[in-house]
Amino acid sequence: MSELEQKAINTIRLLAVDAVAAANSGHPGAPLGMAPAAHAVWQTMKFNPKNPKWINRDRFVLSNGHACALLYSLLVLYGYDLSIEDLKQFRQLGSKTPGHPEALDVPGVEVTTGPLGQGISNAVGIALAQKQFAATYNKPDFQISDSNIFVFLGDGCLQEGVASEASSLAGHLKLNNIIAFWDDNHISIDGNTNVAFTEDVLGRYKAYGWNILEVENGNTDVDGITKAIEAAKKSDLPTIIRLPTTIGFGSLAEGTHGVHGAPLKADDIKQLKTKFGFNPEESFVIPKEVTELYNKHVSENQQVENDWNKLFAAYKEKYPTEGAEVERRLSGKLPEGWEKSLPVYTPNDKPVATRKLSEIVLSNVVPVVPEIIGGSADLTGSNLTRTTDMVDFQHPDTKLGDYSGRYIRYGVREHGMGAIMNGIAAFGANYKNYGGTFLNFVSYAAGAVRLSALSHHPVTWVATHDSIGLGEDGPTHQPIETLAHLRAIPNLSVWRPADGNETSAAYKSAIESTSTPHVIALTRQNLPQLEGSSIEVASKGGYTLIKQDKPDVIIAASGSEVAIAVDASKKLSEEGIKANVVSIPDFLTFDKQDQSYQLSVLPDGVPILSVEVMSTFGWSKYSHEQFGLNRFGASGKGPAIYEYFGFTPEGVADKAAKTVQFYKGKDVLSPLNKAF
């Protein structure tokens, strides 16, 4: 390692230390330990700070997101749209340097990390998408996609189950574009990792099918790190590199958990700067020669990107069809007229389960929209997520499929699937990816689902078996609280379509979405086609399906309960009670409509009863009375369970009649009419 490189590494270290000190909050330990690896990795990466979304860039994922002062320092040094002033505002309200790396806020941050284990799992998704993109569009003479995915992860990430799920799949798929560095510093928050984490990590990764490399001393051996990267690039397998480092390297408290997540003391910072050859009285210093060193790499990379632009221009000449398709995808546009492939139904069409209707949507749109890829967590048959002509995404050696395949066998790994789905979306090229499982098991992936929403990844959960209606599998499989939880996640669209037209509307919303993840809750049991549903009205998120003049009551429902509400309304009319029926397939979409539309659906003066066979939590924002299931379900035949809990036309009519009775003569304000 040259003196200049040493200076560059110390600059990274001290910028991170100064940022944490300025904030009086943050994590200096990992940046001090990992700066040499960060320097070595970034000097081999191809990227353009002025065009951070260039599709063939190498990706860098900081899975140990608490070390973000390290990443922000790199972004400043390489000339991304992040300044030393931003670094001085580290962790302050409204800054571009939030407490953990957020992809939406910080140019150059690939994925939002901080919740441990997510980053490495996202990286598997990015790597999968890169392979799929390359296999779809590369030609023997045109390698238009060949990027690598670099990952830093700590002991914490390696202890998280989600990382194991994703790493196991990465090994199976032989995603050799992943180069991960394990910050093996023997420290986490509780102190020495020997209190809880003594397994043979490399042995485990070897068993997953990864290539295992080790660097002798991560604190000093930059050449060793560079050599390891070269070796990793030659591997047929994903690579994990054990990087022994000292947390808080150079600090008086180095090697202890004291430097994990607390600012260094003022005199410690001074001795550190002196030790590293910097002026102890100055902060946020970037030596000129360090700027020049990194600028040089940026201008070399500029040439790399120029060469790629030329390559892609020639590609478009020689392969106009593929070229136009890649260009369309990079511009974020869907194929012209794709939505015409969405099926619609007539009231005379036979009753069908919405999970089956979902399969019909997929078989129609998958051939038309090449950016749709998807899979299932080992419930392909139940979830009906694989359309007949889909090829499996597999390493070609397996003879089970190939890398251009669009169907991903996730195995029984819901959380891993969720994080990988986010990674696929983060790759770019407008991938629209979906994953199937039972609605109840979307909860297993909750950590990844909320990050989809926070980071605006437009991924789609095909969530079948959405209620007690699934029947015999019983309470362990029957969702109760799931929709309430998912609906409470900001910016997550949670659809529960009631028939074929509504299912198409749900998919239209999901596929057109550029920033909102979707969960589509689907039934196992058959549902009739509802007269008056359409893609257009369902696309408002809520609409009046049965409209009466001067109704006595409004029954609002979703999914399988809408048809029951329709039958209840017919029964009520025999008793002289006029009941409107409102279908609300997606709260988020309905909430985005203007208030006059919302109030036309749920107006003042009429009591509203909501009906849904799960937790009533959340429905009070639309209804005065709630009929739901605030207990676990039961094992039995689906129709018998519905009957047992009173979710029948008679049961709903009874609740509606009671609602009318209770509110008679009272002033009724729509729950949508609020002070603010």
Ligand X SMILES: Cc1ncc(C[n+]2csc(CCOP(=O)(O)OP(=O)(O)O)c2C)c(N)n1
Task: Tell me the binding residues for Mg(2+).
Answer: 155, 185, 187
- Half-sphere exposure for 6 (CA within 13 Å, toward CB): 9
Coil/strand/helix, residue 52: coil
Q: Could you give the CA distance from residue 652 to residue 575 in angstroms, rounded to a whole number?
A: 14
Q: How many residues bind ligand X (CB under 6 A)?
A: 18
Q: Find the part of the chain contacting ligand X (CB under 6 A) among 78-86, 167-175, 185-193, 292-300.
A: 185-193
Q: What is the DSSP letter of 155?
A: H
Q: Which is nearer to ligand X, 116 or 379 (CB)?
A: 116
Residue 194: other Cβ atoms inside 10 A: 8
Element (H, E) at 147: none
Residue span 104-133 as binding mask against ligand X, x where in contact by CB under 6 A, dash where not: ----------xxx-----------------
Residue (of 523, 522, 525) closest to 506 by Cα position = 522
Q: Binding pattern to Mg ion, positions 187-226, x when CB under 5 A?
A: xx--------------------------------------
Under the binding rule (CB under 6 A), the answer on residue 382 touching ligand NAG is yes
Give binding residues as ranges: 27, 66, 114-116, 155-156, 185, 187, 260, 355, 382, 441, 465, 473, 477, 524
Cβ of 662: how many Cβ atoms within 10 Å?
12
Q: How far apart are CA 142 and CA 134, in angstroms?
A: 10
Please answer whether residues 417 and 435 qualify as being in contact, where contact means their C-beta atoms are separated by less than 8 angstroms: yes
Residues 6+ apart with CB under 8 A from 129: 423, 424, 427, 429, 431
Give 61 or 326: the residue with its C-beta nearer to ligand X: 61
Q: Which residue in 97, 529, 569, 583 binds ligand NAG (CB under 6 A)?
A: 529
Task: Say whether residue 625 binds Mg ion (CB under 5 A).
Answer: no
Pick 153 or 373: Cβ nearer ligand X: 153
Q: How far apart are CA 271 and CA 44, in angstroms?
A: 31
Q: Which residues are annotated as a binding site for thiamine diphosphate?
A: 66, 114-116, 156, 185, 260, 441
Site for ligand X in 233-262 (CB under 6 A): 247, 260
CB-based burial, 246-274: b 16+ in 10 Å, e otherwise? bbbbbbebbbbbbbbebbbeeebbeebbe
Q: Is 184 in the site for Mg ion (CB under 5 A)?
A: no
Which residues are CB-contacts of 507 (< 8 A; sequence separation ≥ 6)?
A: 342, 358, 361, 362, 365, 460, 520
Task: Give the amino acid at 329.
Answer: R
Smaller CB distance to ligand NAG: residue 283 or 580?
A: 580
| Contact by Cβ (8 Å): 132, 85 | no
Q: Nearest-CB residue to ligand X? A: 154
Residue 30 touches which of ligand X, ligand NAG, Mg ion, none (CB < 5 to 8 A by kind)? ligand X
DSSP β-ladder status, 178-184 and 239-244? parallel
- Contact flag: residue 189 with ligand X (CB under 6 A): yes
- The closest alpha carbon to 224, from 208, 207, 244, belongs to 244
With a CB cutoff of 8 Å and minimum separation 6, the contacts of 139 are 315, 318, 319, 322
Shortest spacing between CB 253 and ligand X, in angstroms:
12
Give me the amino acid identity at 395.
H
Question: From the list 15, 35, 129, 187, which residue makes contact with ligand X (rule: CB under 6 A)?
Answer: 187
> Exactly one of 14, 20, 21, 30 binds ligand X (CB under 6 A); which one?
30
- Residue 436: its H or E element: strand 432-438
User: What is the rounded distance in angstroms from the CA atom of residue 70 to the CA atom of residue 32?
Assistant: 8
And the tokens for 283?
């902060």
> Contact between 91 and ligand X (CB under 6 A)?
no
Within residues 195-234, the interface with ligand X by CB under 6 A covers none
CB of 331 to ligand X, least distance (A): 36
Residues with a catalytic annotation lie at 414
User: How many CB atoms are located within 10 Å of the residue 36 CB?
Assistant: 29
Map residue 35 onto helix, strand or coil: helix
Task: Choose between 262 and 672: whose C-beta lies nearer to ligand X.
Answer: 262
Distance of closest approach, residue 104 Cβ to ligand NAG, in angstroms: 10
Which does residue 516 touch among Mg ion, ligand NAG, ligand X, none (CB within 5 to 8 A, set by kind)? ligand NAG
Phi, then psi, of 524 in degrees rounded to 5: -90, -30
Binding mask 617-656 for ligand X (x = CB under 6 A): ----------------------------------------
Closest distance to ligand X from the beta carbon of 115 (Å): 4
Q: Is 155 a binder of Mg ion (CB under 5 A)? A: yes
| Residue 170 structure tokens | 């990465």
Q: Which helix (H) or strand (E) holds 150?
A: strand 149-153
Binding mask 328-367 for ligand NAG (x = CB under 6 A): ----------------xxxx--------------------
Among 132, 147, 164, 185, binds Mg ion (CB under 5 A): 185
In the complex with Mg ion, the residue whose CB is nearer, 155 or 359, is 155
Given ligand X, ligand NAG, Mg ion, none, residue 484, with its beta carbon under 5 to 8 Å by kind, binds none
Residue 65 interacts with Mg ion (CB under 5 A)?
Answer: no
- For 211, list phi and psi in degrees, rounded to 5: -85, 130
Interface map 60-79 toward ligand X (x if CB under 6 A): ----x-x-------------
Positions touching ligand NAG (CB under 6 A) are 344-347, 381-382, 456, 490-491, 501, 515-516, 529-534
Interacting residue ranges for ligand X, rule: CB under 6 A: 29-30, 64, 66, 114-116, 154-157, 183, 185, 187-189, 247, 260
